Chains A and B, each alone.
Chain A
Amino acid sequence: MSVDTKLIAASAIRGAHNAVAEAKDFLARAITAKGIDAAVSFPDTNYALPVIYSMLGVKVQKLSDMQAVIDRCEKLLPAGPSEHNWLPYLGDTLDAGMATLFAFEIIEGCKYLIGPNPVNGIWLGAASDVILRARGIEFVDGSAPGFAAIVGAAPSKEAAVRIARELQEKNLYTFIAGNTNGVSFAEQLDEAGVQTGWETRLVPFGKDISAAVYALGFANRAALAFGNIQPGDYKRNLKYNKDRVFAFVMALGEVTDEKYAAAAGAISYGFPTIADTDIPEILPTGICTYEHVVSSIPIDSIVEKCLEVRGCKVKVTKMPIPVSYGAAFEGERIRREQTFVEFGGNRTHAFEYVTTRELDEIENGKVTVIGPDIDQVVPGNALPLGIWVEVAGRKMQPDFEAILERQIHHIINGAEGVWHMGQRDQGWLRISKSAQERGFTFRHFGDMVRVKLTNDYQAIVDKIQVTIFTTAEEVDRRLPEIRQVYRARNQRVESLTDDSVDTFYSCLLCQSFAPNHVCVITPERLGLCGAFNWLDGKAAYEIDPTGGNQPLLKGECIDPIRGQWKNINDYVYTTSKHAIDTVNAYSMMEYPMTSCGCFEAIVAVMPECNGVMMVNREYMGDTPSGMKFSTMASMAGGGQQVPGFIGVGKNYATSRKFIAAEGGHKRIVWMPTSLKEALREDLELIGKRLGIDNFLENICDETITTESEGVMEFMAKVNHPALAMWDITEPSPEAAAVDAAREAVAHG
């Protein structure tokens, strides 16, 4: 707890006392005027005074009911923090905040009875249930990402308009209450000729700070109506608001004790307060997702800061480029004679690069072009290009950089008249003459990347800033640095081992045609379709937590040799609908992982050779097993466990865990030349590691024989390492030792 927190606590508690006193005064006057049994309500609602109703379960219908609530307020009101005691005040502050909201609601309720009428001129007062339902849907389905409760007034009319416009552009609702020294944000808008009202999403509730309670009442009613939460269940109501209603308080101008008290009330909902003035802050997180009170934010960037602190994401609906955009243009080619300008290829250097930044290091949505833009280009020329993308996000991880970067190819290709090939520093791009004529400029590269990554990767991208470099100097200056990062990424992928992580990822996408198939993706065994590795699984889960890729905590290891874990078995048992109960990640002979149908290659046992052959899908010819790829595929596929046959991604052959339980790479006796070529570099390295010279030359292929007998002859000739290994149809000595140990434990 800091001095700041204490100052806020003191101020909020003072404000709460003031608010309750004012409410008592209002109530006394109302009783005098109308009698204690006078009916009191907000118009056209079944939720009475909604904050009181949803928090306390009390349906205020008469002034006498208000009296009872005042009594509750007084119990809630804490004494101010003592001068010497620095113990936690947050609990007290929150109580004070809640008492303030009850008091405000009583004040507003009384106004409906004895005036001044809350509905007056631009001021709208409480929202009816009809409005609540119609507008509430937008909060649930995300078409309104949240609301801003603005209290006070902007430094100027112009600033007010700018803030309002920015909130409107982002589809947020703006709920306006209170004033700063007699000037209100709503009045500033009105004077500037901006139309307010529910239709424009700029909603002036009332000029007094007590009208701020309408915003919170709206939030409470949303929880009652849309969250199926019972009145009086304040815990669930507040949690609903924290989790689902992305609201925040924007405090403009001086923050009085009453405003503090109201802000304290909002904190209970998980709604933080962001102020443009220098007020004390509560930074540590606790109730709110991130900070509670943040101050001294420049008026120009306050909206962005509000969204960031509340964790509120806004989608851009229209791609801001002058040409058509969509997947239909991905396959479009631009021939040389159609090209206005190109980048990369072999003519210039072109790179694209995504890197992670801290949230306060970049400006969201900013796109800068450094170097000549399209209007300075001689048609037909080639320019250097650097697409430099800086991403910040509270859930962003450097591991996701490569995944985001890979999207750039698709993102840019989506534009009509723009063509992209390659990745990293191997890019080649063309802009067509027609796209240029329609106004396509280099900054639009940045706009496309910014919009698509923000929309499609909301879960991990909070902020994004793109810089486009088009001079050789700027591009070349950065190349050494980013090439180092590319290398580091490669090393990261290589250094990721199954033992170094505690979580694998599942993939159930193929269950539509292989109902019992469950892919378990580990760092050292990529998905058998070859398209999906462990990092992809991790990112996919962050992006879509209910999707087909779920994290699997390995848990207790049952068999380190064959690669078997208790939790993985349990998960496979459940998701295979009880068809498979045991899976070994590193064995093809005992309880192998099932195969769907989309595997890139098959590894099949050749028991007579004491080894295995590996055949890729493209290879259509005969194999020494006597079966072609298609025959083996129909046996191994469909989500069944077929010992001796596994479908794999090609790159699994480069993994240290490649059929480790059977002895690994030394078992490979045959593979088609096309597969040998595709994997040559990696396999030669592996051969070296294993101390085998001519590793690839020891592996038979279709140019030598497609007969089992031929393979055996060949093996004898080259003295193939598999000949010296244990019988492949039996467990390895190591695995047998594991079995024996387990047996011993089982029998005491």
Chain B
Amino acid sequence: MPFIKKPRTLKPLGAVSIGTGERAVKIGGGNTLPLYFFDAKLSNPPAVGVELTDTAWDAAELPLLAKAYEGAATLAERVACAANMKGVDFVCLRLEGADPGGDNLSVEECVKLAQEAAAACTKPLCIAGCRSEEKDVELFKALAAALQGQNVLFLSAKEEDYKTIGAATVLAYGHKVAGESSVDINLAKQLNVLMTQLGIPKESIVMNLGGAAVGYGFEYVSSTMDRVKAAALEQDDAMLQMPVITQVATETWAVKESMASQADMPEWGDLEQRGIQMETVTAAACLASGSDAVILRHPVAVDKIAALVAALI
């Protein structure tokens, strides 16, 4: 007896568009469970972003990464390199220099940097802060005004600051915003409810459900995304149907496997190869669990993940 394939038709979810004109990219809008593109004609594939910071990477042991940015002296030049990288759908600029515990750049300096970056960027732009809550709020308020009309995605608003960030980015200047919750389906949903109650349209919200590198409690990330996608697609839960974006690189490049030098861990071998695989494996696992967009750092990981998504379509 032959195998009987059952039809699995699901309603496409809403997508969030970032960037403008021909360069705009849609995030989300899937109509199948994650990567199950054989179930239905695909409405929109997952997107791959590349991140860079205003401060250049420490690429001492990462020759391939260094090569990708070879000759780029200014932030604008590095952004241009990133945007042209193979497989890149959008660019994520992290304003690490703003960190009050670090370089503590002023809001004005950051605005200037972001404007230069935006001018040089040929792909849609996504802006992440420096993980200092007070600074990010000030930063996003100023950046939203300075980048008016460019339809930027801001990462991220949390339950504590969604009002200010949501109002400044989406309501005042028509950008997009990611709501960040800490790996919990109900917290994610609550934040979506709160943001929509504030008046932010569903079409302007992306979910940043939190992340982890594989091996570091990734089961929570995976199960949370499994449940979010089941709720969105199979139970029609409108408050969980926003697209999911995952900052993979910030997680994977912060763990031992991607940081310990070969001198410290000789048996582990080449550091760059380890970092690439950590990032690639985590990114693939995120996509399989439900990320509609992943943000990566290494050009090899970006290329391979983008190609893999294409191969699955």
Contact = CB atoms under 8 A, between A and B. Distances in A.
Interface stretch (B71-79, B189-197, B281-289): B189-197
Interface in A541-565: 546-548
A366 interface: no
Contacts of A577: 227, 230-231, 235
Contact of A226 (B141, B171, B193, B235): B171
A511 interface: yes
Contact of A547 (B168, B183, B190, B230): B190
B163 interface: yes
Interface in A134-150: 134, 136-137, 140-143
Given A225-B172, A546-B193, A141 B186 contact: no
A133 B172 contact: yes
Q: Which residue, of A136, A137, A547, A548, has the highest number of chain B Cβ atoms within 10 A?
A: A137
Contact of B164 (A137, A227, A547): A137
Interface residues of A, number: 25
B167 A546 contact: no
A264 interface: no
Nearest to B168: A137
A165 interface: no
B172 A226 contact: yes
A141 B223 CA distance: 32
B173 A133 contact: yes
Interface residues of B, number: 28
B167 A548 contact: no
Contact of B199 (A228, A511, A512): A228
A219 interface: no
Contacts of A133: 145, 172-173
Interface in A208-253: 225-228, 240
Given A512-B186, A515-B223, A136 B199 contact: no
Looking at B172, B184, B227, which has the most chain A CB atoms within 10 Å of its CB? B172
A578 interface: yes
B171 A228 contact: yes
B149 interface: no
A226 B170 CA distance: 8
Interface centre among A136, A240, A577 (most CB of B within 10 A): A577
A548 B198 CA distance: 19
Contacts of B163: 140-142
A508 interface: yes
Interface in B125-152: 141, 145
Nearest to B184: A512
Contact of B171 (A140, A142, A508): A140
B185 interface: yes
Interface string A600-623: 000000000000000000000000
Contacts of A141: 161, 163-164, 166-167
Contacts of B183: 512
A546 B185 contact: no
A515 B171 contact: no
A721 to B, nearest CB: 43
A577 B233 CA distance: 12
A520 to B, nearest CB: 16
B100 interface: no
A508 B189 CA distance: 12
Contacts of B168: 137
B269 interface: no
A196 B189 CA distance: 43
Nearest to A508: B186
Contacts of B193: 546
A515 B184 CA distance: 10
A143 B198 CA distance: 14
A548 B145 contact: no
A421 B187 CA distance: 33
B186 A226 contact: no
Contacts of B231: 577
Nearest to B227: A515
Contacts of A546: 190, 193-194, 197
Nearest to A516: B227
A228 B201 contact: yes
A546 B188 CA distance: 12
B107 to A, nearest CB: 13
Contacts of A130: 145
A136 B190 contact: no
A225 B184 CA distance: 32
B157 to A, nearest CB: 10
B197 A136 contact: no
Nearest to A139: B167
A137 B167 contact: yes
Nearest to B231: A577
A137 B190 contact: no
Contacts of A509: 186
Nearest to A244: B199
Given A228-B199, A546-B190, A546-B193, A136 B145 contact: no
A572 to B, nearest CB: 14
Contacts of B141: 134, 137
A460 B199 CA distance: 24
Contacts of A136: 167, 172
B199 A226 contact: yes
Q: Which of A140, A142, A515 has the most CB of B within 10 A?
A: A140
A586 to B, nearest CB: 27
Nearest to A143: B164
Contact of A137 (B172, B194, B230): B172
A143 B138 CA distance: 13
A480 B197 CA distance: 47
Contacts of A240: 199
Interface in A521-554: 546-548
Given A508-B186, A512-B186, A577-B231, 13 more contacts: A133-B172, A136-B172, A137-B168, A137-B171, A137-B172, A141-B167, A225-B172, A226-B171, A511-B186, A546-B193, A546-B194, A577-B227, A578-B235
The 7 A-B pairs of least Cβ separation, nearest first, read: A140-B167, A141-B163, A141-B164, A226-B171, A133-B172, A512-B184, A137-B167
13 contacts: A134-B145, A137-B167, A137-B168, A140-B164, A140-B166, A140-B167, A141-B163, A142-B163, A225-B171, A511-B184, A546-B190, A547-B190, A574-B235
